[in-house]
Structure 1
Amino acid sequence: MSTEPIGPDRTYRQPALADLLNPKSIVIVGLSARPGSTGMRILANLQRSGFGGTVYGVHRSGEDVEGVPVYRTLADVPEIPTVALLCTPGETVPELVEQAGRKGCRGAVVYASGFEETADGAARAARLRESAARHGMSVVGPNCLGLFNPGRDLWLTAADFGTDLRPGPVAVVSQSGSGCILLAGSGRLRFSYVVSSGNGTVTGLADYLDHFVQDPATRAVGVVVEGLSDAEGVLAAVRKGHDNGVAVVALKVGRTELGARNVASHTGAIAGDARAYEAFCRRAGIVTVTDYDELTEALVALSTIRTAPAGDRVAFLGLSGGEIGLIADVAADFGAHRDGGAVRLAELSPGTREELARILPEFATIANPLDGTGQLVGDPERFGRLAAAVAGDRAVDLLAVVLDAPPSLGERLAGSYGRLLATLPGVREGSGTPVMVLSNYGGGLHPFTERALAGSDIPVVHGTRAGMAAVAAVTAGRGRAPGTAEAHEARPESLSAVRRALSASPSGQVSHDVLAELAERYDLPLPRRIAADTAAGAVAAAESIGFPVVLKTASPKVVHKSDVGGVAVGLATPERVREAYEAVTSSVAGHLGEAAPQVVLEEMVTGGVEAFVGCGLDPVFGQVLALGAGGTLVELQPDPALSLLPVSSEEVRRMVAGTPLARLFAGYRGAPPADAEAFAGLVQRVARLAADLRVAEVEIDLNPVAVLPRGQGVRVLDLRIVAAAGPRVPDSQTPADQE
């Protein structure tokens, strides 16, 4: 592993981290001869691995341990250690970090707990951050297992991460110490670094990523994340990794409410909204997985393949009809339901199909996934020609060969399969197309796979779903983030108007006059409306607009009008308008405890598909745009599609495709196709409005939006902008005023 100093082409967020990960000397604070103590176990790891640097100890006894000189204080150590390993209780840590900084240490590893994850640990964590910042130190932890640098066989940990841990192209940073133990002990990966980051009080995920993606020995980074606190730093580091050909794969712990609660008790991490996290990963180009099996296989694939596919079109080739059917099912699941990476099947060209027909038996079906049939098991030459024909198709970006390799496979069949796999390096070289092998059994691999593919960059992944996650990771893993949004000129007058409206509103709600002004400025087409404060005035307004109409309370103290009987719809006669005025004003007055005579009469928009668009705040990721089925259709998808701002037209189309709106817009149950393009344009204009109001910290809700038949545009039936009571993403189940 490279340990070269930082050059002019590499700058780090925390320069001291390079020294912490590659120390020349170490001091173990709290080193005593007590068997089983943290300091003794760290020393045993250092001695077993043959660390070539100087090791000191600090303990109040001043008694040497296992030939290591032990001093009573850090100040007594005769030279400046690169790193201080603090094996002492949490309450002693802030002062020891301060002493280490004054001594000149570049970094520290804090193993103790008792910081952000406890009720009284916040002040302790703040002191730790202050000392580290004052002295320019990097700090691993607290509440961690430490780190392992296989390139130097360097163990700055008391844990045993596993045997035969060889240096290689995978870096791991895990807030969970058990994640490090699991991945290191899997036997599937070779590592450049393994870091148990714990709370990340000083040195966080963005700092580790920034270092790892610039390491020449690293091709893939695996992350086990419980919560993010520096989304912009992570985004910058991941994109730097894309420039360097380094992929980042993340396993999020705490995606459910119960899981997030457990995470908070563990590290004090802010888990954030899981849907906002997925949106952030899409924007950053981070591959997401759902469990450790998927994480492991994705890292195997990404660290083995040396040249990323040119696109995301995958061709599957196997020798069993049943297993190819299974692959087709699982690939469809990934294509339809996965946020972290989809699998898109390549459409084989006519020329390729003709060539396949000449190679395959007559009864074979030419499709993707492709069943080469059992006839080819004993015919490696023919199998190689088949694989080469598929890989050579310009419509194929990745060839995935499905060939099972369970550990106890019979030797005769293992020999046959080995001869088939041995043809693939030639296919890879001849076509230039990346190749993977997927074994459906997830409990291990037979040695024939390694022998047959030795020296190639063809990975073998196992487990149908975990292997499919690896296929998705390879096609998505290196820099194909969503397209960028069009730039727009900011309108500061919108922000000023909203701020004035909020300061004048006791309910924290922007008034209709300002909403109408914003709707006109951003082309958010509202229905025609007229205010009235008497029953007679309401009738006159309705006659001016034209029947049928909607009548709503105009009280600024009412946020959700439907909840207080503040809406009446479908009013087709003057009598109905008069009755509705009396009913609405009486109901609202009863809820408020005061008269509320003012209402608005509004054009009744009928037909089309009801959708919603909104923008709210996430505590970690900032502004989050949401869309989905709206109005009475909201129960079709309680969780809307989310994206971070800004949003591109490509991203809007992807969001719509992941909701029931896609089917509804196409013309559901005989309805005419809706104006999907007009809706997409509306979403982007809402995003521009949200961007202009970012610093005002407001929530924006358009619900429902009537998406009329194709060519007729959209109507915003209700628009709300309110002061955010607390960071949250938009709630698709906000009651619609016309319900």
Structure 2
Amino acid sequence: MSDDVTGAERAAAPYPHQWEADVVLRDGTTTHLRPIRPGDADALQRFQMAQSERSTYYRFFAALDRIPARMLRQFVQVDHAERVALVAVRPAAVPAVPAAPSAPDAEAGPPAGTTPEASSPTTSYGTLAGTGEEILGVARFDVLPGSAPRTAEVAFNVADSMQGRGLGSVLLEHVADVARELGVRRFTAEVLPQNRAMLGVFREAGYATEQHLDDGVVTVGVDLDPTDRSRAVMADREQRAESVSMVGLLGARRILLVGPGTPDAGLESLQAARVIESHGTDPGDTHLTVLATPGPVPGSPAARTAGDASATGIVWARTWDDVGDVDLLLVAAPPAAAVDAVWRAAAKGARGVVVLSAGYAETGEAGLARQRELVRVAHAAGMRVVGPASYGIVTNAPGARLRASLAAQAPPDGVVGLFCQSAASAVTLAETVRRRGLGVSALVSAGHRADVSGNDLMQYWQDDPATGVVCLYLESIGNPRKFSRIARRLAAKKPVVVMVAGRSGHVVPPGHAVRATRAPRRMLDEVLRQSGVIRAENTHQLMDVAQVVAHQPLPAGRRVGILAGSPGLLTLVSEACEAAGLEVSRSVALPPGASGDDLASAVDGLYGPDACDAVVVVDVPVVVPRSDAIAHAVAAAAARSGRTTVASMLGLHGMPGVLRSGDVRVPAFATPEDAVWALGAVVRYARWREQDHGEPVRIDGLERARARELVEGWLAGPPAGDGAPVSLDEARAAELLACYGIRLWQTRTVRTPGEAVAAATELGWPVALKAATRALRHRTDLGGVKLDITEEHELLADAARIQEAASSLVPAVDPLLEVQPMAPPGVACVIRSREDELFGPVVSFGLAGDATDLLDDVSYGVPPLTGVDIARMVRGIRTAARLFGYQGAPPADVRALEDVLARVSLMADDLADLESLELYPVTVGEVGAHVLHAEIRLREAARRTDPLRRALS
């Protein structure tokens, strides 16, 4: 191991804050990862002294009770470039959480490594810790000098007390992500053959690996380029860990409510205490303790004697000494007391905290700092945070109900998993659910969403047998890429219904920390469409769809049968069905006062074999009162046939008992239009479920490593060194595009007509001549383009005219010219990509021309894209017909166009520093697609919201 960087130099190296992250481990607890610091030496020594002889031998291939002083300095003094170390830490004052039972998988073992290693502490979790941090695990690498491709020797070590929780695999993900950022393309490690767990961590990570045995040591090589399998492994482990962490919240049994001891700040505390006492604790359900500090709220139940138990079994405590073991902390105290409560509850074993009170990020920068400190302390103690400003959590699991909320009346039991953010929206949704008779499996209000988000709940609900449909009321989406990835996976198993307040996602409520975005306002629509979720425009529609998917089977198709109480209603409903994309295959209008036989005949016809895929029933009598006969007949037929059914019947709304037969419940809607809209949305979702969504595009022969090296090199030089963007000239743009198999059509930029003739002679006639000015390059109508020039005299005249036009239009710009060989004729298209701070890479497609931009006839996609996504983008614009033989023109080579679009999507996904790319025009002929011009702009980007590593964000 080289030591070419002095300790002083390493100590002065810029600290890479972007590498810090909070992570969820396999047992659902959290910990903090960060780069090592020189001040971590004592903590690293304590870590080593606590390791078992077996772990020490696996790590150093020798007995080593203490790390020698020189080696210790080398371990903690790194340059964050050639030598890197990450440590997993927690405050030393927090007692260790009992280890989860070991599981015989590769992720679970004792990640003891190979080369020497590093670790560290320092108190970054507030003043309460007092005793600094303890190190739980270390991952480090040293770049091998002169290696090509750039290779680093990697090593791991995990505390004996943490083995079996997946910390080794998390450290590998993070240290690999850092290595890729620094241009390292390969890891190598030496591992003892008996260290099967460490070998398993490498083998099961999903990267391309190789290993061989030499002199009793296994040498492992790991290619750090992400693979489909490495992405899938990360997503699977992330889902399991985040799901388990939600179990710690939703499955809590021992609840502690902490409220303020002053009446002017005790409204949430008093309300929560009343809710807790009114609900009580059924046998086998939660056990509750209420603690008001420093004293009880006047007039509240907490004025009882310390240790007293109420009639419902609730214990009212006066001091922390009266509090026993805790699973979940419920905080209704001011921010100043919340961190202390979290710290003390962690010592009692709490796995989560729900913050009901406000006074955090919505109050400004000071409040945001308090909110971040609260989350830091909680994560350091292994806890997840719901809130602040949360309405709380309600679960309805039989025998394990949880009432950790401000809801005086909890929603009834059901199969809907309901997530929202602000307390106000939770109040509305809870009342709407109760009024409609629609039950929930759980209701979670995330408040400011400082930690727990809809992504976490989707991870949990994916495998929750009590949840059949997921409903999300979102006021902001902090991580759209992760949301899309998780929602798409969940929607393939269960319906996901989403309402986004503000529609576009550009409006951020007070208290929500969300990155800014420059993406088009309809970008969120595309993210939701790619995710396969059902989009609702308002709370009314959210609940309308939930009624259908919670209690009716998914329709087998879009053929609809209609049973209406009059011909007029039948006509109106038929029109609504067509507008919703449904096909009316059978319809019956019952006359007023129809007999029972007429009703039975009509119902039997609609529910007959293969008569239709879904039934819409509308009964609005004008004179006589509504009879329950139709409702009973329809409910019985729906239960008998399994046919999807919705109804709009006078006086019925929600899930009325009259429309129930056995376990089948037919949803009722306020208007026929509501019923048809909800059915149409469910039909589209059912069709999405059945479709082949393809696999992420894969193209062999790409030079991804070369592309990264080029970008890194160009950004390292001027003017990018000052953070300025870098615009690539034609040669560099062609070189970068070639790494992804995209050939840029040859171009020569000239200053005079004579130079244009020379360029044409070199490139070959005929040629195209264009003004190099952006305003004229594509404008034949303004005299900026002349095509198919075959003669020298013609070229000389055209060059003079174009320069004259350019000088008159843009007088301050030198009128340069571009000469190109003529490309085959075809349809001119535009492919663009832009790196957005919130959404990441955004790829767009449209046909060339002003009309496309003016009418916004553009399709969008967020990589990674599948082949199906690419095909949809091409066919999704209104002018796509021009590619398929419009008005007798020959069809364009759409497959070649899709290939270019796919390569651009891979390039945009790989290169976060690709600030913008424009291929304009891409001419698609009968054979082939030709890129005639490219504009590429690079800028060093911030880390994406969904990197290739697990992290809470």
Scaled by the length of structure 2, the TM-score of the pair is 0.62
Quick one: which amino acid aligns to residue 371 of structure 1? S
Partner of 1:38: 268
Choose the corresponding residue for 1:402, options 616, 633, 641.
Answer: 616
Structure 1 residues 413 and 551, CA gap change in structure 2 (3 angstroms): same
Q: Which residue of 2 aligns with 1:252?
A: 500
* 1:94 lines up with 2:306 in the alignment: no
Number of the residue aligned with 1:25? 254
Alignment of 1:212 with 2:429, yes or no, is: no
- The equivalent residue for 1:701 is 918
Which residue type is aligned with residue 872 of structure 2? R
Structure 1 stretch displaced more, 482-491 or 454-463: 454-463
Of 272-281 and 43-52, more deviation after overlay is shown by 272-281
- Give the Cα separation in 2 of the matches to 1:539 and 1:634: 34
Deviations 1:32-84 (A, max 9, x none): 58497211111111111123523221221368725373889864333123222
Shift of 1:529: 2.8
Separation (CA, whole Å) in 1 of partners of 2:453 and 2:319: 26
Match of 2:755 in 1: 537
* 8 Å Cα contact 1:509-1:559 kept in structure 2: no
Cα 1:428–1:149 change in 2 (3 A) is same
Does residue 546 (structure 1) correspond to residue 769 (structure 2)? The answer is: no
1:190, distance to aligned residue in structure 2 (A): 0.4
Structure 1: which amino acid aligns with 2:847? Answer: A
Pairing 1:504-523 to 2, within 5 Å after superposition: 506=719, 508-519=726-737, 522=740
Question: What is the rounded CA distance, in whole Å, between the counterparts of 2:680 and 2:305 in structure 1?
Answer: 50
* Partner in structure 1 of residue 145 of structure 2: none
What is the deviation of 1:644? 2.0
Contact 2:548 2:667 in 1 (8 A): yes
Q: How does 1:253-652 map to 2 (within 5 A)?
A: 253-256=501-504, 260-261=506-507, 263-265=508-510, 267-270=512-515, 273=519, 274-305=521-552, 307-309=553-555, 312-319=557-564, 322-335=568-581, 345=583, 368-374=584-590, 378=595, 379-389=598-608, 391-392=609-610, 398-399=613-614, 401-405=615-619, 413-425=626-638, 427-429=640-642, 434-439=643-648, 444-445=652-653, 450-451=658-659, 453-456=661-664, 458-475=666-683, 476=685, 479=689, 482-489=693-700, 490-492=702-704, 493-503=706-716, 506=719, 508-519=726-737, 522=740, 524=742, 526-542=744-760, 545-546=764-765, 549-553=768-772, 568-570=784-786, 573-580=794-801, 582-583=803-804, 591=812, 599-603=817-821, 608-635=826-853, 637-638=855-856, 640-652=858-870
- Residues 344-388 of structure 1 show CA distances to partners (whole Å, capped at 9, x for unaligned) of x4xxxxxxxxxxxxxxxxxxxxxx243224369541332233223
**Does 1:224 find its partner at 2:442?**
no
Shift of 1:666: 4.5
Matched residues in 1 for 2:574 and 2:831: separation? 34
Q: What residue in structure 2 maps to residue 360 of structure 1?
A: none
SS in 1 for 2:362: coil
1:570-620 deviation line (CA, Å, top 9, x unaligned): 26523334415754886899646xxx6864312466964433222222334
1:591 and 1:725 map into 2 onto residues whose CA distance is: 31
Letter in 1 for 2:443: V
CA gap of 1:325–1:228, structure 2 versus 1, over 3 A, is same
1:123 to partner: Cα distance = 1.9
Tell me: CA distance 1:445–1:548, structure 2 relative to 1, closer, same or farther (3 Å). Answer: same
Cα displacement (A) at 1:168: 1.0
1:447-501 superposed Cα distances (whole Å, 9 cap, x missing partner): 9773454532544455445434432443416855732234223422233334444
- Counterpart-to-counterpart distance in 2, 1:109 and 1:375: 57
Aligned counterpart, 1:656: 874
Query: In 2, are the aligned partners of 1:42 and 1:157 still within 8 Å (CA)?
Result: yes
Say whether the 8 Å CA contact 1:552–1:599 is kept in structure 2.
yes
Q: Distance in 2 between matches of 1:131 and 1:297?
A: 41
> CA 1:91–1:670 in 2, change beyond 3 Å: closer, same or farther?
farther
Structure-2 separation of matches of 1:147 and 1:552: 63
Q: Which amino acid aligns with 1:403?
A: V
1:193 maps to 2:442: yes
Q: Residues 679 and 714 of structure 1 are in contact (CA less than 8 Å); yes or no, is this contact kept in structure 2? A: yes
In 2, Cα distance between the equivalents of 1:290 and 1:727? 32
Q: Is the Cα–Cα contact under 8 Å of residues 785 and 802 in structure 2 kept in the other structure?
A: no
Identity among equivalent pairs (%): 21
From the superposition, tell whether residues 78 and 116 of structure 1 become closer, same or farther in structure 2 (CA, over 3 Å): closer
Task: Tell me: CA distance 1:438–1:724, structure 2 relative to 1, closer, same or farther (3 Å).
Answer: farther
Instruction: Give the alignment partner of residue 58 of structure 1, picking from 264, 271, 292.
Output: 292
Q: Deviations over 1:297-351 (max 9, x none)?
A: 111111113x544x5544343345544544454445444xxxxxxx5x4xxxxxx
Say whether the 8 Å CA contact 1:248–1:287 is kept in structure 2: yes
User: Could you say which residue in structure 2 is the equivalent of 1:721?
Assistant: 936
Q: Residues 606, 727 of structure 1: CA spacing in aligned structure 2 closer, same or farther, 3 A cutoff?
A: farther
Greater mean alpha carbon deviation, residues 212-221 or residues 445-454? 445-454
CA distance in 2, matches of 1:438, 1:215: 29
Aligned equivalents of 1:423 and 1:101: distance in 2? Answer: 54
Contact in 1 for aligned 2:753/2:795 (Cα 8 Å): no
Shift of 1:250: 0.9
- Which of 419, 422, 426 is residue 173 of structure 1 equivalent to? 419
**Residues 1:115 and 1:669: Cα distance change in structure 2 (over 3 Å):** farther
Residue 353 of structure 1 is matched in structure 2 by none
Q: Find the counterpart in structure 1 of residue 403 from structure 2.
A: 155
Shift of residue 131, structure 1, vs aligned partner: 0.8
For the residue of structure 2 that corresponds to 1:425, the secondary structure is: helix
Report deviation, 1:419: 5.0
SS across alignment from 2:664? coil
Q: Is the 8 A contact 1:612 1:705 kept in 2?
A: yes
Q: Which amino acid aligns with 1:208?
A: L
Query: Structure 1 249/31 Cα, relative in aligned 2: closer, same or farther at 3 Å?
Result: same
More displaced 10-residue stretch of structure 1: 601-610 or 78-87: 601-610
Q: Give deviations 1:228-286, integer Å, cap 9, x for gaps.
A: 2344654565456457x432211111224xx733x333534458555333333333332
> Any idea what SS the aligned residue of 1:48 has?
helix
**Is the contact made by 2:655 and 2:666 (CA closer than 8 Å) also made in structure 1?**
no
The C-alpha deviation readout for 1:19-39, integer Å capped at 9, x for no partner, is 432433332222558497211
Q: Tell me which residue corresponds to 2:78.
A: none
Q: Determine the C-alpha separation between the residues in 1 that align with 2:352 and 2:458.
A: 17
Any idea what SS the aligned residue of 1:617 has?
Answer: strand
Q: Deviations over 1:534-555 (max 9, x none)?
A: 431113324654356222439x
Alpha-carbon separation, structure 1, partners of 2:736 and 2:403: 60
Letter aligned with residue 463 of structure 2: Q
What's the CA shift for 1:138?
2.0
C-alpha RMSD over aligned residues: 4.1
Counterparts of 1:19 and 1:271 in 2: how far apart (Å)? 32
Question: Which stretch has the larger CA shift, 177-186 or 214-223?
Answer: 177-186
Relative to 1, partners in 2 of residues 1:696 and 1:331: Cα closer, same or farther, differing over 3 Å?
farther
